[in-house]
Amino acid sequence: MKLGFLTLLTILSSQSFAQTKVGFFKRLNASRQVEKGIEQYNQGGTSDAYMTFKQASVFNPNSARAMYYLATVEFDLKNYNEAEIHAREGLRLNDKKLNGDLQLLAGQIHHNLNHLDSAIAHYNACSKIIGEKLAKEYGIPVLLEQTTYAKKEQEKGIVNLRVPFAELNTKYDEYGPILTQGGQALYFTARNPEAKGENMNPDDQSYFEDIFFSFWNDTTKSYQITYSEDLDWNTEGFDAINAVMSDGLHAYGTLNTSASKEKTTESSEIFELSAEKPFVWDEQKIVKIPGVNTSFFDGAACMSDTFFVDDYTYKRELYFVSDRQAEKSLTDIFVATETNGIWGEAVLPVTTINTTGRETTPFITEDGTLLFFSSDALPGMGGYDVYFCKRNGNQWSAPVNLGAAFNTVNDDTHFQYYPALGKAVMAGISELDGLFNYNIFQIDLSGKSFPFMK
């Protein structure tokens, strides 16, 4: 993401200062630090830019521009509480050339903090400052729809059912939970210092992701990470497991070593694990299906079991995410279908699922009747929300938002439903010890009745 929004027109503009006197050289140093921070951030050095903008705000605490960029980077780092403080300070300094940007940023911060009335007020203030045309260009009507939708959902008194895997969540990102072996085992993906090679991705300055395996401990009544041969799957690049069939004979994941020393892939590729004995996995193999594993990003795959369409036709479907049409629609969900043992070319399933935004983390139930996925462009509460579709013949029904029992105003992804267990798992950005990052959750659905369960 590039810094700027509306500020592309004001980067070189003069700044206004509060009444507290700041010397010329401190103001000059602050201005130089802001320019340096912008360059660092636009080149992907988010952490370096944060320190630079922080220094600029110390040199000149009266600079609304320094406060704006500091809050922008803090927002990007999901440090929403600090971002709120600095955005508020930037607005107090009343730099008229930046007020539109600051109002928009403050709205986004309050949106992610679930301060919905404040978010709406800031969004409306920004629209008033910049005008209807620019407001539409920067997506403010969509943001207002999201905050209004979230308010209506929360006003219904719906209780969010997610319970964190407290023993596994850390200040780093955990996501992609998968329950197996009757709920006794849990796979998940994490980006933490324990990643193989302990290397950081230069693009976002976070650790590469690795696959982790945990097993239920009856004594501690918790899942505990178990180190096994499964960890040999991990490279010094990106490694994720996305779906495991309930019989333990097949699993699907994503591999990307293009930014690591191995460089065995050009981009993200989908791999398959197979087993002769359930859950005792053989070597991973890159999937060879027409239209899968292109030079673009392909990942987050899941597979249905074989199901019969009629007395003579049986099918199996592989759903996955790709950015091969990014110029039109960012990321989309594709499907490859095996009919009577022969794989066809991967295609877009239906236009009602994919939007011009981002669709991600699909999950199809093994009987092929339900498809869950996340989107940031369908009507929702903010960020990614989870949706489901029901199979209707050869088509999928229109997506249905799972609502406030599962979704929040932040990103919600990686939903998987296990009817036999009466449970679901998912990932989402939430607050842990004052910091916001991806955490993993479980949902007990026993005694509950939701549309996707009927």
Token pair 């996305």: residue:
242
CATH topology (fold) of 163-453: Tachylectin-2; Chain A (2.115.10)
Q: Are 405 and 158 in contact (CB under 8 A)?
A: yes
Round to whole Å and give the CA distance between 236 and 199: 7
Q: In the prediction, which pLDDT does 377 show? A: 93
pLDDT in tens, 73-86: 999 999 999 999 99
Report residue 186: phi and psi, to 5°: -140, 120
CA atoms within 13 A on the CB side of 56: 26
Structure tokens at 244: 């495991």
Alpha-carbon Rg for the chain, nearest whole angstrom, is 23
Q: Rounded to the nearest 10 degrees, what angle do helices 140-155 and 116-130 cross at? A: 160
Q: In the prediction, which pLDDT does 229 show? A: 52
Determine the CATH number of domain 5-155. 1.25.40.10
Q: Are 432 and 438 in contact (CB under 8 A)?
A: no
Q: In the prediction, which pLDDT does 174 show? A: 97
pLDDT in tens, 340-372: 999 999 998 767 899 999 999 999 999 999 999
Q: What is the DSSP string of 224-262?
A: EE---GGGGG--SSEEEEEEE-TTSSEEEEEEE-TTSSS
Q: Are 214 and 185 in contact (CB under 8 A)?
A: yes
Q: In the prediction, which pLDDT does 428 show? A: 98
Fold equal for 5-155 and 163-453: no
Is the four-CA dihedral 377, 118, 162, 206 of positive or negative sign? Answer: positive
Token pair 């976002």: residue:
204
Residues 49-71 as b/e (b if ≥16 CB within 10 A, e otherwise) read bbebbbbbbebbbbbbbbbbbbb
User: Kindly report the CA angle at 127 between 124 and 133, in degrees rounded to 5?
Assistant: 145
Per domain, the residue ranges of the chain are 5-155, 163-453
- 3-state DSSP call for residue 45? coil
Spans in the chain with pLDDT lower than 50: 1-2, 4-18
Round to whole Å and give the CA distance between 361 and 375: 9
| CB-based contacts of 103-107 (< 8 A; 24+ apart in sequence) | 103/129, 104/5, 104/6, 104/138, 104/140, 105/5, 105/68, 105/71, 105/72, 105/75, 107/140, 107/143
> 129 has which bridge partners?
none
Strands 332-339 and 313-322: antiparallel
